[in-house]
Amino acid sequence: MNISIIGTGYVGLPTGVGFASLGHNVCCIDKNIDKVERLNKGQIDIYEDNLKELFDKTVQEGKLTFAYSIKEGIQNADLVILAVGTPTEPNTNKADLTYIKEASKEIAECEIDRHIVIAIKSTVPVGTGDMVEEIINNENCDIVSMPEFLREGFALHDFFNPDRIVIGTNSEKAKNLLQQLYQDKNVLFTDRRSSELIKYASNAFLALKIHYINEIADLCEKAGANVEFVAKGMGLDSRIGNKFLNAGIGFGGSCFPKDTKALLETSKEFDSKMSLVDTVINGNNFRKMKIAKKIADKAKELNPHGEKQIRIAIYGLAFKNNTDDCRESPAIEIIQHLLNEKDLILEVYDPKANENAKKILGDKVNYYECPKLCAYAVDMLVILTEWEEFKNLDYKLILTSMRDDILLDYRNLLDEEEMKSIGFKYERIGKKYD
Ligand code: NAD
Ligand code: UGA
């Protein structure tokens, strides 16, 4: 099949590479000319496991090409996938559909005279398919909702092993084409509006699950229980499920924060109530302030008379493990709160996200390429991203080089007994400490 993908970011590029590796002819289109030039030179802007290898292979096989003009990029397409960004609007909490509108207008100008399917993979509010249909205004084009459920850091894994493919359309022609594309997958066909809403309802539900376990963690800390046992016990009930019950510092990323806000706005537009989502948004914002305060309070304990500067090493800047993405990273937000405190010096390390973090934090913190150097002569070490790498460091060595011995593991990554036996004053989330 000839597939064109508009938007070559965290979704568009892995999706393009994935389809190309399955033998389809894929053209990835992006309006960012520099990005397209880099792609043509074999350079990828984002970090995703195994993406570079498969990218190189599919380009070499001639299955993956790039373009910056939609007109040029879709000229042979049977299927056009829209994967442009839908961030939060600058002055509201709604989804910003500027890029969707721009791309749709450009498609409209192509005066398509054969049947093609235009699938909206970007996360868009219910009713956006109707809007795109109006802009393109061409009966040769079937506008379909086909939301994306992949996770960053696991994009190719999720592309090849999706839990489900959701396709919202009433067009038999579109259904046939997409059935052909996803013949071996679990496909749910719905109407377009339901499909659009499935995406937001899913993301908001996952966000809600995280916020719920974070609140349970707070209760555990006060009541003397352990959130990890509680989560494990809950997760054994197959109706609840054991995933997304890791308590931590609050959810972040380019999707949950913006999608929960957009869903709440949609509910208001339709005069419908989404009080749970409202609570989750506010609770998650508050959580990051609360975690920052916990860290700052610990620092104050070390400096009761305010006469010295406290040095804190922070491990983790990305919004989660396995990605370089810092968009709405809770780690970054916590750091920003800490920067408002007096007498704190922040030393930071992330395996992949230092460069992206620099774009937000600039030179207000000190960046390290090595976790051991980052922790040298610090008073406290704080873990804010759940990187696997952090589990395998030589903490004995790290402790010997530290000035004091506090380790705040706010992603519950490490073995508590081991860290205590090494000599750390260790704390994690969802447990009471005296
Ligand atoms: P991104 O910002 O990484 O990439 C979007 C790309 O689209 C950019 O490279 C931009 O230059 C390009 N673009 C914008 N307008 C264009 C136009 N008119 N023509 C050509 N290119 C254009 O975004 P992303 O993270 O890949 O997300 C894309 C969409 O997918 C969003 O709606 C997001 O909510 C949704 N989504 C993202 C993820 C994820 O893990 N990031 C997962 C599921 C769904
Ligand atoms: C999320 C969804 O998992 C994807 O299904 C969806 O396609 C995507 O959003 C999207 O629409 O963009 P992603 O943002 O890549 O994927 O990351 P997640 O793995 O869901 O993590 C989101 C945030 O929640 C991270 O900050 C993570 O650290 C946090 N989290 C996750 C927890 O605090 N606890 C958990 O148990 C799970």
Given this model, what pLDDT does residue 387 score? 97
List the 187-190 sheet strands across, edge first.
64-67, 25-29, 2-6, 79-82, 116-120, 141-145, 165-168, 187-190
In a domain, 419, yes or no: yes
* Total residue count of the chain as it appears in this document: 434
Does the Cβ of 367 fall within 6 Å of ligand 2?
Answer: no
- List C-alpha distances in Å: 4 to 33, 71, 118, 231, 397: 17, 11, 9, 43, 51
Indicate the residue among 138, 156, 190 that finishes a domain: 190
Its domain, for residue 313, covers 208-434
Would the CB of 30 count as within 6 Å of ligand 1?
A: yes
Question: pLDDT digits over 366-393, tens only?
Answer: 999 999 999 999 999 999 999 999 999 9
- 27, 28, 141, 255: the catalytic one is 255
- pLDDT grade, residue 3 (50/70/90)? very high
Q: Are residues 328 and 266 in the same domain?
A: yes
pLDDT band at 304 (very low <50, low <70, confident <90, very high): confident
Instruction: For ligand 2, say whether the CB of 149 is within 6 Å of any of its atoms.
Output: yes
pLDDT score of 305: 82
10 pocket-lining for ligand 2 (C-beta < 6 Å): no
176 and 318, same structural domain? no
Task: Say whether both 117 and 18 belong to one domain.
Answer: yes
Q: Is the CB of 266 under 6 A from ligand 1?
A: no
Angle 192-196-200 from CA coordinates, rounded to 5°: 160
**Does residue 36's CB lie within 6 angstroms of at least one atom of ligand 2?**
no
Task: Please identify, by atom number, the ligand 2 atom nearest to the C-alpha of residue 123.
Answer: 11
Any atom of ligand 1 within 6 Å of the Cβ of 99: yes
Pairing assessment for the beta strands 425-428 and 310-315 based on DSSP bridges:
unpaired
pLDDT score of 191: 98
**157-207 pLDDT per residue, tens:** 999 999 999 999 999 999 999 999 998 899 999 999 999 999 999 999 999
CA-closest candidate to residue 251, choices 261, 237, 236, 238? 261
Q: How remote is the CA of residue 226 from the centroid of ligand 2, in Å?
A: 23
Per-residue pLDDT, 303: 84
* Number of other CB atoms surrounding residue 130 within 10 Å: 13
User: Do 253 and 360 share a structural domain?
Assistant: yes
Site to probe by mutation for ligand 1, drawn from 10, 33, 80 as the one with most ligand atoms within 8 Å of Cβ, is: 10
Q: Is the pLDDT of residue 14 over 90?
A: yes
Looking at the structure, tell me whether residues 268 and 298 fall in a common domain.
yes
User: Residue 369: left if φ>0, alpha if ψ -120 to 50, beta else—which one?
Assistant: alpha
Å from CA of 147 to ligand 1 middle: 12
Cα–Cα distance list, 131 to 83, 97, 201, 403 (Å): 16, 10, 21, 60
Q: Is 246 in the pocket of ligand 1 (CB under 6 A)?
A: no
DSSP string of 259-284, one letter each residue: HHHHHHHHHHHTT---HHHHHHHHHH
The protein residue whose alpha carbon is closest to atom 16 in ligand 2 is 151
198 belongs to a structural domain: no
Give the count of domains, the chain: 2
pTM value is: 0.96
pLDDT tens sequence across 64-78: 999 999 999 999 999
Assess whether the C-beta atom of 31 lies below 6 angstroms from ligand 1: yes
pLDDT > 70: what percent of the chain?
100
Dihedral (CA of 331, 332, 338, 343) sign:
positive
CA atoms 195, 7, 96, 359: torsion sign: positive
Is residue 406 domain-resident?
A: yes
Domain termination site, one of 162, 190, 218: 190
Residues 145, 118 share a domain = yes
In a domain, 196, yes or no: no
Residue 164 and residue 214 in one domain: no
- What φ, ψ does residue 70 adopt, rounded to 5°? -65, -40
Are 63 and 24 spatial neighbours (Cβ–Cβ below 8 Å)?
A: yes
Residue with tokens 């040029």: 72
Q: Are residues 150 and 273 in the same domain?
A: no
pLDDT band (50, 70, 90) for residue 254: very high
CATH code assigned at 299: 3.40.50.720
Amino acid letter for position 5: I
C-alpha 166 – ligand 1 centre gap (Å):
18
Give the residue from 148, 164, 190 where a domain finishes. 190
Q: Whose CA is closest to 143, among 75, 81, 76? A: 81
> What's residue 184's pLDDT?
85
pLDDT of 222 over the 90 cut: yes
CB 293 within 8 A of CB 126: no
Instruction: Tell me what pLDDT residue 411 has.
Output: 98
CA angle 23, 121, 151 (to 5 degrees): 85
Distance between CA atoms of residues 32 and 10, nearest Å = 14
Q: Do both 18 and 114 map to the same domain? A: yes
Assess whether 299 and 164 both reside in one domain.
no
Q: What pLDDT does 307 receive?
A: 81
Relative to the CA of 249, which ligand 2 atom is closest? Answer: 33
The yes-or-no answer on residue 326 being catalytic is no
CA-121 nearest atom, ligand 1: 30
Dihedral, 378, 381, 386, 389 alpha carbons, nearest 10: 50
Q: Ligand 1 test: best mutation among 11, 33, 49, 151, most atoms within 8 Å of CB? A: 11
1: three-class secondary structure by DSSP: coil
In the chain, how many H helices and how many E strands?
A: 17, 14
Is residue 202 a part of any domain in this protein?
A: no
Averaged confidence pLDDT in the chain: 97
Please spell the DSSP secondary structure of 187-255, one letter per residue: EEEE-HHHHHHHHHHHHHHHHHHHHHHHHHHHHHHHHT--HHHHHHHHHTSTTT-STT----S---SSS
Q: Quick one: 181 and 86 in the same domain?
A: yes
Closest atom of ligand 1 to CA, residue 155: 40
Position in ligand 1 atom list of the atom nearest CA 258 = 34
Residue 201: inside a domain: no
Q: Are residues 14 and 130 in the same domain?
A: yes
Please indicate, yes or no, if residue 307 is contained in any of the structural domains: yes
Q: Is the pLDDT of residue 286 over 90?
A: yes
Ligand 2 atom 35: the closest Cα is on which residue? 244
